[in-house]
Amino acid sequence: MDNCIFCKIINGDIPSYTIYEDEIVKVFLDINPESIGHMLIIPKKHFVCLDDIDIDTLTHICDVSKKMHSLLKEKLNIDGMSVVQNNGDVQEVKHYHMHIKPYYVNGPSFSVEEVYKKLVD
């Protein structure tokens, strides 16, 4: 999709703080995080929402979310994590994506750049 910001990130037209990438998905830090380490998992193939994504891609996204959970526990010592996926009018970008939002009892204060360095080192 020519206008899709996530497709532009996948194609490398827009830079991102990429945490993980394989042939199916890309995981990167949200540039306006709701918590330290807030990241997005997006499929490389353009799907608009839950209604049009295939089950194999959806399953892979869930598998990757488990890997990201382990990474966040190991590198940022999170106390919990929310997984959010929006559809319809509440979906800001019309490209299927899953939010991974870490939770902290006494949260750290890091910039996106500092979090990126901690997660990829």
What are phi and psi for residue 99, nearest 5 degrees? -90, 135
Given the structure tokens 């939002």, which residue do they identify? 101
Does residue 75 sit in helix, strand or coil? helix
Of the residues 46, 60, 97, 99, which is catalytic?
97
CA distance 65 to 23: 15
Helices (H), 53-92: 55-76
46 assigned to active site:
no
Q: What is the CA radius of gyration of the chain?
A: 14
CA distance 34 to 86: 15
Q: Which residues are catalytic?
A: 97
